[in-house]
Structure 1
Amino acid sequence: MVAIIVPGNYGAVIAVALGAIPVLGFVHGIITGKQRKGAKVPYPHSYATIEQCKENPLAEKFNCAQRAHANFLENAPQTMFFTMVAGLKYPELAAGLGALWVVFRALFLHGYVYGGKAQGMGRLRGSLFWLVQGALWGLSVFGVGRDLLDF
């Protein structure tokens, strides 16, 4: 039997993992929806075509918003999980890294959609989220996992 002890200051971990990260996902959805409307890309089409992008600059902006949102959805679940697991041993560090991940993801979104650079290259200023995500993974696997699995 393994007993998992949740530290008293685990609330900050929950606030980031189950609060801030989902709120950022909601913001992604709002921005993507607004861009879709301006680009006049009807459902169920996920992206504007190359022809639509040539005709309407807002279509390219929509594609950038849609891709930023998809990338967020690809990365948010494991980041939430890593934050919660790492927070079992390192609650302040995990909450801080999770919050930093949210900041970098917001910069990624803003740069991708509003950066004004070709092919969404403005996203690069927020791409440090990868390092933060890696740090959370490392804390989860090597910091907490080692204790739970005794390896």
Structure 2
Amino acid sequence: MLSLTVPESYGYVIAVSLGLIPVLGFAHGVIVSGLRKGANVHYPHSYATVEQCEANPAAHKFNCAQRAHANFLENSSQTMLFTLVAGLKYPQLATLLGALWVASRTVYLYGYVYSTQPRGKGRLWGGAFWFLQGALWGLSVFGVAKELL
């Protein structure tokens, strides 16, 4: 029989990984949905064409929001898992790194969609999420290795 004991402060880890991260995903969806009509991009199309973007700045803004959302989806599930696993050994650090990841992703979203930087380059303001995600991965691997070795 396998038993899993979680640290007393593991609730904070859960709050970040299964609370804040999904809420940010929902916010991404709301923003994309809100911009779709003005961009004149109808379902099932995911993005505006180059011609639509050239003719309508709202279409470019929609594409930026859609790409920010797609990038979030490409990274959020592994980050949730890394946070949950790292939190088993290092709950405070995993909570901090996860919360900073959410903050960085929020800046990334805002910069991508609402900045006046050309071609969505405002997203780079939130680029720290890559390092935070890597730190969570490393903390997960280190914590597991420490248990096994």
Decide: shared fold, TM above 0.5. yes
Identity %: 65
- CA shift, 1:2, in A, is 5.7
Distance 1:22 1:15 in 2: 10
- CA shift, 1:49, in A, is 0.2
1:146 aligned residue: 145
1:61 aligned residue: 61
- Residues paired across the two proteins, number: 149
Aligned partners of 1:2 and 1:148 also within 8 Å: no
Q: Which amino acid aligns with 1:99?
A: A
2:135 aligned residue: 135
Distance 1:15 1:89 in 2: 16
- CA shift, 1:3, in A, is 4.2
Q: 5+ residue gaps in structure 2?
A: none
- Alignment of 1:98 with 2:85, yes or no, is no
| Per-residue deviation, residues 87-135 of structure 1 (Å, max 9, x unmatched) | 0000010001000000000000000000111110000000100000000
Aligned partners of 1:111 and 1:120 also within 8 Å: yes
- CA shift, 1:5, in A, is 1.9
Query: How do 1:17-28 and structure 2 match up within 5 A?
Result: 17-28=17-28
Distance 1:47 1:5 in 2: 45
- RMSD, matched Cα: 1.0
1:16 aligned residue: 16
**Structure 1 ranges of 4+ moved more than 4 A:** none
DSSP-derived class of the 1:87 partner = helix
- Alignment of 1:29 with 2:29, yes or no, is yes
